[in-house]
């Protein structure tokens, strides 16, 4: 995507995880890699997307179109709404998790070692109104061997549900290790 950095502004900000930050660019999303783990997640998403296309499940995933060292590009899907200012796990009896989704979840779990697949933050609604996977690149092995070590060291943040020290709203806060006392939310200035 030409001039991709031009879209990485506060007005286009969609959200931030521990290893990537997302911005909307029209009908695309730019995922900026904040950490090498983010780059590996994006590469894994591209691999999964290509395999799901081969298996006939491509309509259940936001299309990954580019992966570069600094960023990745994916088709836009509207994030699912938060509940009580936080993400939540989709339950087995959630009517949106039809049989094809359950089959895909099984494939992702068993063939790709995918991690944290039912978190609502990993899904969006595409322009056709369909629930699609938007964040599916973290593996269990990578989480256990790399992510936990980096989070414990305070290099990448963990998410805590607490009241923001500035706005006072209970929401997900990014906390960098056990010594991080900055209890502001992203909206109030914490990166």
Q: Residues 65-119: pLDDT tens digits?
A: 999 999 999 999 999 888 877 788 887 777 888 889 989 999 999 999 999 888 8
Average confidence score pLDDT of the chain: 92
Distance CA 136, CA 129 (A): 19
Distance CA 51, CA 155 (A): 32
Residue 34 contacts residue 20 (beta carbons within 8 Å): yes
The confidence score (pLDDT) of residue 97 equals 84
The confidence score (pLDDT) of residue 171 equals 85
Same domain? For 8 and 94 the reply is: yes
Distance CA 143, CA 86 (A): 21
Domain count, the chain: 2
pTM value?
Answer: 0.88
Is residue 152 a part of any domain in this protein?
A: no
The CATH code of the domain that includes 56 is 3.30.200.20
- Asked if residue 7 has pLDDT above 90, the reply is yes
Same domain? For 140 and 183 the reply is: no
The confidence score (pLDDT) of residue 168 equals 93
Residue entry with tokens 């607490």? 162
Q: What is the DSSP string of 85-130?
A: TB--BPPTT-TTS-HHHHHHHHHHHHHH-B-STTBGGGEEE-TTS-
- Asked if residue 22 has pLDDT above 80, the reply is yes
Same domain? For 169 and 83 the reply is: no
Q: What are phi and psi of 44, to 5 degrees?
A: -70, -40
Q: Which residues of 5-19 are buried (b: 16+ CB within 10 A; e: fewer)?
A: eebeeeeeebbbbbb
DSSP assignment letter at 84? T
Residues 111-157: pLDDT tens digits? 999 998 888 889 999 999 999 999 999 999 999 999 999 999 999 99
Is residue 26 a part of any domain in this protein?
A: yes
Residue entry with tokens 């780059």? 39
Quick one: tokens of 177?
A: 């290790």
The confidence score (pLDDT) of residue 82 equals 81
> Rounded to whole angstroms, what are the CA distances from 97 to 116, 135, 147?
15, 16, 28
Domain that holds residue 128: 4-147
Residue entry with tokens 């259940």? 60
Q: Can you tell me the mean pLDDT for 149-167?
A: 92
Same domain? For 92 and 181 the reply is: no
Same domain? For 162 and 82 the reply is: no
The confidence score (pLDDT) of residue 85 equals 74
- Asked if residue 1 has pLDDT above 80, the reply is no
The confidence score (pLDDT) of residue 52 equals 96
Distance CA 65, CA 29 (A): 10
Q: What are phi and psi of 31, to 5 degrees?
A: -100, 110
The confidence score (pLDDT) of residue 186 equals 87
Distance CA 146, CA 48 (A): 20
């Amino acid at each position: 995507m030409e001039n991709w950095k031009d879209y990485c502004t506060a007005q286009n900000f969609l959200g931030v995880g521990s290893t990537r930050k997302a911005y909307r660019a029209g009908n695309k999303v730019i995922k900026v890699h904040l950490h090498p783990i983010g780059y590996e997640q994006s590469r894994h998403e591209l691999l999964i997307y290509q395999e799901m296309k081969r298996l006939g499940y491509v309509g259940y995933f936001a299309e990954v179109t580019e992966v570069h060292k600094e960023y990745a590009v994916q088709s836009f899907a509207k994030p699912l709404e938060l509940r009580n200012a936080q993400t939540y796990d989709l339950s087995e009896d959630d009517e949106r998790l039809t049989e094809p989704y359950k089959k895909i979840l099984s494939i992702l779990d068993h063939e790709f070692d995918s991690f944290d697949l039912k978190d609502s933050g990993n899904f969006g609604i595409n322009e056709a109104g369909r629930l699609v996977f938007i964040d599916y690149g973290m593996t269990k092995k990578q989480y256990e061997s790399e992510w936990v070590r980096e989070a414990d060291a305070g290099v990448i943040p963990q998410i805590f549900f607490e009241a923001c020290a500035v706005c006072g709203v209970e929401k997900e806060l990014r906390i960098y290790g056990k010594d991080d006392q900055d209890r502001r939310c992203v909206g109030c200035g914490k990166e």
